[in-house]
Structures are given as C-alpha cells and as structure tokens.
Amino acid sequence: MPNKFHTYIAILFFLFFVKIYSQNLELKVIGSDELETKVIDSIGYENFFKDYITLKIEIDSIAKRFLSIGHINSQLLKIKRQNDSLYEAKFSLKARYNSITIIHNGLIDKDILKVADIKSEGTSFTLPISKLENTLKFINTEIANRGKPFSTLQLKDIKKESDSSLSANLELSLPIERSIDKIIIKGYEKFPKTYIKHYMKIKIGQRFNLSRIKEKTSELNDLRFANQIKDPEVLFTKDSTILYMYIEKTKSNSFDGFLGFGTNEDTNKIEFDGYLNLSLTNNLNYGETLKLLYKSDENDQQTFDGNVTMPYMFGSPLGVEVNLNIFRKDSTFVTARQSAKLNYQINSNHLVSVGLSSVNSSDLLDTQVSSINDFNSSYYFTNYIYTKRQNYDFLFSVNFLFDITGGFGNRTFDDVHENQTKFTLNTYKIFNLNDRNSIYIRGSGQIIDSETFLENELPRFGGINSIRGFEENSLIANMYGVINTEYRYRLNRDIYVHSVIDAAYFENKISNQKGKLFGFGFGFGLLSKAGLFRFNYSSGKSENQQFKLSDSKVHLSLTATF
C-alpha cells in the first residue's frame, strides 16, 4: 500500500511539474519613462515564448533594433520576473540619432561606393543610421569579392556632431589579395577542363571572388552531361587558394524514334512512317556530341543526317561543328548538304556561330522535268541560339529556345548563276501557369529569296516536328511559317495530356500556290524508366477543306536516355 501511495504522489508531482513548465512565458518591454515605452511599443516585439532561452533571444533582438534605428547608446537596465510566467525587460533608449558621417580617407574605391549607391563628398559620406549596418556589410562583401576575402571594416572615434547626427572614422583591414592557385574536381575527375576555363570562365591566377564562382558553377546544371552536386568550397592556406568543385556525370545519350501511320487517300490502305534519332554526348569526356538521324516516311522519302560537335578545340574558346545531310525523294532526286561552322559559347545561354555550307543535288529522272534539275550551291551563314533551361522539370527541361540562322550565297544550274539568301527560325516558349497547367507555343519557318526556284532545293515541312496532321515532309515551299500550340495539363510528375492546335502559311512559286493549313488534335506524354513515350492524334486541313477523320495521323515516339 505505501508503494502505491508513493507512486500516486510521484505521478501528481510530475503532472504538476509538466503543467508549470509547459506554460508560455510572457514578455513585457518598457522604457525608462512613458515616452520611451511608447517608442518601444511602436517598434513591436514578440510577447509569448515556449522557454526562457527564446525569450532572451528576443530581448537581444530588440536591443539590436534600437541600435538600427539610431538609439546607439541604448542600454538594457534589467530583466525582472514578475510572476511564474511574466518577465519584464526595462531599457533606457537615450538620444536618437538619424544620420552618421563616415570619414574613409580614400580607403574605399570610388567604384565600390558607386555600386553601393553612395554619394561621396571627398573623403567622407553620410548615411541614415537605419542603413548603416547593411551598407557596411555590402561594402565589405564587394571588397571580399575583389580578391580580399578576409577584409574587415570598423568604425572608430564615434562623435556627436549635433542632436541628431554623428561622425566616425572608418578603418579598413586588408589582407593580401587572393587569387585562385589550383582547381580540384571532386566526383567527376575526368570533367573536361576546357569547360572550366571557357564555359564557366574560371581560371588559375584569377582574382578570387566567391560569389562570382558560385554564380558560374551553378551554370553546370545547364550542361546535359554534368551537374553540380553542391556549392564549391575553398581551402585557404598561408600562401595559396585552392578551389574545390563537386560535379557528377549524368546520363546524356538519347535514343529517339517515332512510328506514324495513316490511311492513304488513293489506296485506302494504312501506311507507316517513322524515324530513328541517336545522340551520343560526352562519351569521350571532351563534351563532344555525335548525332545520327535516319528517317523514312510514307512518301517514299529517306533522310540521313549526321552531325559532330567538338567544343573548345585545342583548348581555345572556339568549337567546331560539321554536318552531312542526304535527302532522297523516291527515284526523283537526291540532295547532299554539307556544312562546317565555328561556335563561340558566350555563356550558358548564348551561342553564336559562323560557317560555310554547300549543296549538291542530282536529278534521277530519265525524263526532263522543268522544276527538277542538277544544281550546286554554296552559302556563308551566321547562327545565334539562346537557351533558357528549367532543370527542375524532367519532362520539359528547356523553357525558352530561340534559334535563328541567316545566310547568303549562290546557286548554279545549267551554267546559270543566281544569288540567294536564306533565313531559318526555330523558337518556342513554355508559359508555366502553375504546377499543373502550362502553355507551349512554338514558331518555326524558313524562306529562300531567289529569282527562280527548283523543286529539289525547296524546304520541306509537315509532320510531328512541324505542322501535325500532315504526312512527314509532304509539303514544299520557298517560304513557310508554322505556329504550334499546346495546352498541357500535368496529371502527376510523370504524365501529362495536351491539346494540338497548329497553323501554317506557305508559298510555293514553282506551282504558283499559297495557302493556310491547320492541324487539330490531342496527345499525351508518359515518362517511364524506358524513357519519354509520346502519343499524338491529329488531323490536318487546308483553308477551304473540311476535316476528314480518315486523314487523321497517329504518331508514336519514345525518347530514351542512357
């Protein structure tokens, strides 16, 4: 019986102890007089706390706020416990100062003061007290970013100039200027060093600037073959500065293909078309890219396209890209295009190029067709590409693309020389409305300006990568423009559905034909372990034509990354 009694007493004591110490503590802050108390109440502070430690932290924070608004001589007089849950803190605010004149005697560079938006009068400048702390922090950060990471600022000889203003001397402690002496890669040791020098523009011997380094290394996430694991770190020794970067190699090879089928209007039979697209990136750890495309469509057309890109050749800031494209139209003609260009990557978003291309086309027909002829042409061209990525999105990693190419040259056939100009545009933008809804808009087009035209030199469009609802490469024109739109709804992280609303305008001066085209439909995308599977069902029509479900096209594609 006594044991039970002792147990009950212990339980009651424990419950009483828990009740007492689980109560919220209340804080009341007063000044040395009624006027100071009103000032304190106007500033505002937290009143209730779970324990004394958090209450004391709030009192310290209040003291700092007094300093920031000009009560630099304020003092905490006492903290008094009024009862079990109420604490009273009493401050003496004393005089309030509104501004301070800082005498720097030329220790701070003029350009730093300009960046900090400070108007310096000779060797001094004046600041509101409320901006003093943040301004000095900003100045010290700028000094640190210019190669002196251990610099310190200190105000000395603070004097009263008037009832509302102060003055002080600024002392600046400057250590030896630091520069990067060594760069060490952790995680992906074979990461191409030329990307550090030319892509991120970080070099040995460069003035140390940590904020700039962090900004540049974050651009690694815009590369297809590498990601930054964590922020860079720096090891300072007595006579050297070593920069550590943490990088991982990512899967960047892709295999893309689609299968399309539809009903032939003449034979009423189902016809198939499709393509295979292989992209190999950074397999040799140079950042190189090899792309191979083979396409065969229902119009008995075959396309082969090979592209090799080598960035930062021989350690220079320039890259080289070569391309070979062969297009065969049944037994009508075959056209081979070759091009080479020099690339300069301005930064992770901007790329500019200049190059030379040549085209050779052969007529395969036994009978003479006036619109098809053997010809040769050569062009000089420039190219600009802007890319903005959204790496957090596995389905749509590129938010905005702008790719424009312009060139001029001449074409020769039957000993006739003609000057020509060409322009090509491909751009798209994703407007993210919220986490689930987005709108995709793409514009593409091409134009050839020439006195005469040959059928085997004209651009071809139509299909899943152009205006949907039409056969692949079934439309030819010397000028065309296509607008693709999709409203996308994301069911979850890996599945989305979308609408298809496309429109195009084209002109073909050979057949004296121009017109408007429309494509409507729907589709969905599914991201799985095998890759991104896409389904599109669309139907196309011309301006004065009715929709026919029998002319609808179904396109299936799978993009696998490995």
Which pLDDT score is estimated for 355? 97
Mean pLDDT in the chain?
87
In whole angstroms, what is the distance from residue 83 CA to residue 30 CA? 17
Which pLDDT score is estimated for 19? 42
Buried (b) or exposed (e) across 220-244, using 16+ Cβ within 10 A?
A: bebbbbbbbeeebeeeeeeeebebe
Q: How confident is the model at residue 11 (pLDDT cuts 50, 70, 90)?
A: low
In whole angstroms, what is the distance from residue 232 CA to residue 218 CA? 9
Which pLDDT score is estimated for 173? 78
Which pLDDT score is estimated for 544? 78
Query: Per the structure block, which two tokens stand in for 164?
Result: 């509302």
Q: How many CA atoms lie within 13 A of 4 on its CB side?
A: 1
Token look-up 């020098």 returns 197
Sign of CA dihedral 38, 41, 47, 53: negative
Domain 2-92 in CATH 1.10.1060? The answer is no
Which pLDDT score is estimated for 16? 44
User: Domain 262-561, what fold?
Assistant: Porin (2.40.160)
Q: Is the pLDDT of residue 405 over 60?
A: yes
Q: How confident is the model at residue 134 (pLDDT cuts 50, 70, 90)?
A: confident
What's the whole-number mean pLDDT along residues 457-484? 91
User: Domain 99-173, what fold?
Assistant: Ubiquitin-like (UB roll) (3.10.20)
Range among 123-132, 139-148, 431-440, 460-469 with highest mean pLDDT value: 431-440
Q: Is the pLDDT of residue 121 over 80?
A: no
Sheet with 152-160: strands ordered across: 124-128, 99-103, 165-173, 152-160
Give CATH 2.40.160.50 domain extents, the chain.
262-561
Q: How confident is the model at residue 8 (pLDDT cuts 50, 70, 90)?
A: low
Percent of the chain whose predicted confidence (pLDDT) is above 90: 49
The pTM (predicted TM-score) of the whole model is 0.74
Which value, in Å, is the radius of gyration of the alpha carbons in the chain? 35
What's the whole-number mean pLDDT along residues 34-40? 90
In whole angstroms, what is the distance from residue 507 CA to residue 424 CA? 15
In whole angstroms, what is the distance from residue 129 CA to residue 164 CA? 10
Q: How confident is the model at residue 3 (pLDDT cuts 50, 70, 90)?
A: low
Max Cα distance, the chain (Å): 122
Q: How many CA atoms lie within 13 A of 115 on its CB side?
A: 13
The model's pLDDT over 514-557, given as tens digits with 9 standing for 90+, comes to: 999 999 999 999 998 888 898 989 998 888 777 776 678 888 88
Counting every residue written for the chain, the total comes to 562
From residue 529, alpha-carbon distances to 124, 259, 494 in Å are 64, 20, 10
Domain 182-249 in CATH 3.10.20? The answer is yes
Q: Is the pLDDT of residue 260 over 70?
A: no
Q: How confident is the model at residue 5 (pLDDT cuts 50, 70, 90)?
A: low
10 Å Cβ neighbour count for 253? 17
Give CATH 3.10.20.310 domain extents, the chain.
99-173
**Amino acid at residue number 128:** P
Note whether 521 and 469 are within 8 A (CB): yes
User: Which residue, among 329, 322, 268, has the nearest Cα to 473 in the 3D structure?
Assistant: 329
Q: Is the pLDDT of residue 369 over 80?
A: no
User: Which residue, among 515, 520, 524, has the nearest Cα to 552 in the 3D structure?
Assistant: 520
Query: Per the structure block, which two tokens stand in for 256?
Result: 């893309």
10 Å Cβ neighbour count for 246? 18
Which pLDDT score is estimated for 366? 67
Beta strands in 414-549 (DSSP E): 416-432, 437-449, 460-461, 475-476, 479-490, 495-508, 513-528, 531-542
Note whether 30 and 13 are within 8 A (CB): no
Which pLDDT score is estimated for 557? 82
